[in-house]
Chains A and B, each alone.
Chain A
Amino acid sequence: MNFIPPDFTPASSEIFMLIMVCVVMLADLTAGDNRRYVAYLLTQTTLLGCALLTFISFSTEITHTFNGMYVDDAMADILKLMVYGTVSAVLVYSHTYISDRGMLKGEFFSLILFATMGMMVMISASHFLTLYIGLELLSLSLYALVALRRESLVATEAAMKFFVLGALASGFLLYGMSMVYGATGTLHVSQLAQIIQSEASSKEVLVVGLVFIVAGISFKLSAAPFHMWAPDVYQGAPTAVTLFIGSAPKLAAFGFVMRLLVEGMGEMSADWQGMLVILAVMSMAVGNIAAIAQTNIKRMLAYSTISHMGFLLLGFISADSNGYSSALFYVIAYVLMTLGTFAMVMLLCRSGFEAENINDFKGLSKRNSWYAFIALLLMLSLAGIPPMIGFYAKLSVLQAVVNAGYVWLAVVAVLFSLIGAFYYLRIIKLMYFDEPETDEPIKPNSDVKILLSANGLAVLAFGIFPQALMGLSLYAIQSSM
Chain B
Amino acid sequence: MSFDFPLLSLIIWLPIVFGIAVFATGNDRNAQLARLISLVGSILGLLVAIPLYTNFDSATGAMQFIESHVWFERFNVNYHLGVDGISMPLILLNCFITPLVIVAGWEVIKERVSQYMGAFLIMSGIVNGVFASLDAILFYVFWEASLIPMFLIIGIWGGPNRVYAAIKFFLYTLLGSLLMLIAFIYLYLASGGSFSIEDYHKLSIPLTPQILIFVAFLLAFAVKVPMWPVHTWLPDAHVEAPTGGSVVLAAILLKLGGYGFLRFSLPIAPDASHYLATMMIVLSLIAVVYIGLIALMQVDMKKLIAYSSVAHMGFVTLGFFLLNAYGIEGAMVQMISHGFISGAMFLCVGVLYDRLHSRQIADYGGVVNKMPIFAAFFMLFAMANAGLPGTSGFVGEFMVIMSAMKVNFWYAFLAATTLIFGAAYTLWMYKRVIFGAVASPAVEGLKDISKREFVLLAILAISVLWIGVYPYPLTEVMHTTVDQLLIHVSNSKL
Binding site for B on A (CB under 8 A): 369, 380, 385-387, 391, 395-396, 398-399, 402-403, 407, 410-411, 414-415, 417-418, 421-422, 425-426, 428-429, 432-433, 465-467, 470-471, 474
Contacts and interface: CB of A to CB of B under 8 A. Distances in A.
B223 to A, nearest CB: 12
A410 B163 CA distance: 30
Contacts, number: 87
Contacts of B137: 395
B170 A421 contact: yes
Interface string B62-99: 00000000011111000000000000000000000000
Contacts of A474: 74
Contacts of A369: 27, 115
Given A466-B72, A467-B74, A421 B148 contact: no
B188 interface: yes
Interface string B146-172: 011001100110000011001100110
Contacts of B155: 429, 432-433
Contacts of B71: 467
A315 to B, nearest CB: 14
Given A386-B141, A398-B185, A414-B179, A433 B166 contact: yes
Given A418-B171, A422-B171, A433-B155, A396 B75 contact: yes
Contact of A418 (B115, B178, B186, B188): B178
B175 interface: yes
Contacts of A410: 182, 185
Contacts of A417: 178
B230 interface: no
28 contacts: A380-B148, A391-B141, A391-B144, A395-B75, A395-B137, A395-B185, A396-B74, A398-B182, A398-B185, A399-B185, A407-B182, A410-B182, A414-B179, A417-B178, A418-B174, A422-B167, A422-B171, A425-B167, A426-B167, A429-B155, A429-B166, A429-B167, A432-B152, A433-B155, A467-B72, A471-B72, A471-B73, A474-B74
Contacts of A407: 182, 186
A303 B27 CA distance: 36
B268 to A, nearest CB: 17
A467 to B, nearest CB: 4
Nearest to B162: A433
B245 to A, nearest CB: 14
Given A425-B171, A429-B167, A402 B182 contact: yes
Interface string B130-148: 0000000100110011011
B240 to A, nearest CB: 11
6 closest A-B pairs by beta carbon, nearest first, are A467-B72, A414-B178, A470-B74, A386-B141, A433-B155, A402-B185
A264 B73 CA distance: 30
A386 B140 contact: yes
B141 A387 contact: yes
Contacts of B186: 402, 407
Given A407-B182, A433-B155, A467-B73, A385 B171 contact: no
B181 interface: yes
A387 B130 CA distance: 13
A418 B220 CA distance: 13
B494 interface: no
Contacts of B420: none
B48 interface: no
Contacts of B40: none
A385 B167 contact: no
B457 to A, nearest CB: 31
Contacts of A387: 141, 145
A385 B156 contact: no
B182 A414 contact: yes
A101 to B, nearest CB: 33
B174 A421 contact: yes
B170 to A, nearest CB: 6
Interface string B185-226: 110110000000000000000000000000000000000000
Contacts of A415: 178
Contacts of B163: 429, 433
B189 A403 contact: yes
A410 B145 CA distance: 21
A470 B73 CA distance: 9
Contacts of B144: 385-386, 391
B189 A425 contact: no
A327 to B, nearest CB: 14
B141 A402 contact: no
A414 B147 CA distance: 17
Contact of A470 (B72, B156, B189): B72
A360 to B, nearest CB: 18
B26 to A, nearest CB: 8
B359 to A, nearest CB: 20
A205 to B, nearest CB: 37
Nearest to B73: A467
Contacts of A402: 182, 185-186, 189
Nearest to A471: B74
B206 to A, nearest CB: 14
Contacts of A380: 148
A391 B77 CA distance: 14
Nearest to A401: B185
A227 to B, nearest CB: 24
Contacts of A471: 72-74
Contacts of A418: 171, 174-175, 178
Given A399-B188, A402-B186, A422-B171, A385 B148 contact: yes
Contacts of A386: 140-141, 144-145
A345 to B, nearest CB: 22
Contacts of A465: 72
Contacts of A411: 179, 182
A402 B213 CA distance: 14
